[in-house]
Amino acid sequence: MATWTTITTAALEPGKPVRSVDGLALRDNPIAIAEGAAGAPKIENAAFDAGELGAEKFQSGTDERDWVLGFIVGSSVGAVGTYAFLASGLLLTLAPGDTRAGSYFYYSSVDSQVNVTPSGTWRCMGYVSGEDNPTLFLRIS
């Protein structure tokens, strides 16, 4: 994540060369704004509504929904942001919101399993108590 740097007006003198520290800030500050860095100005909602952000603007209604769903539909199995029905061969108790590495799990259904272990980190979206009890998980990283 980029860091926001405040550049004083006095640091930018007309007809004088830009100091390297100010040049780096001029390069990094737009990124810091886009990433919502601490101290950076925030992008106003009006910029989204007015279409100032180009083709990937967000709107209320079907355009935003279709944009999000398009990314979900285009995701491969096990990608960050996707869901999977997973179970563990270990004696586990997991509550909604608990996270574990994919190495703890295998893809599952209600009554059968496949010996394929997902990668990444998964958030429990249901409840697990015991061994080989599947539930829904969301991949978060």
Check residue 48 and give its pLDDT: 60
Check residue 54 and give its pLDDT: 54
**Which amino acid is it at 88?**
S
Would you list the domain boundaries of the chain?
A: 9-72, 83-139
**Which amino acid is it at 141?**
S
Q: What share of the chain is helix, strand, coil (3-state, %, to 5)?
A: 30, 20, 50
Q: What is the mean pLDDT of each run of 10 residues along the chain (141 residues)?
A: 87 86 88 87 69 54 73 83 89 92 89 82 92 89 91
Judged on CB neighbours under 10 Å (0-12, 13-18, 19+), 65 is exposed
Alpha helix locations (H) across the chain? 20-35, 45-49, 62-73
Check residue 114 and give its pLDDT: 74
Check residue 47 and give its pLDDT: 64
Asked whether the whole model's pTM tops 0.85, one would answer: no
3-state secondary structure of 61: coil
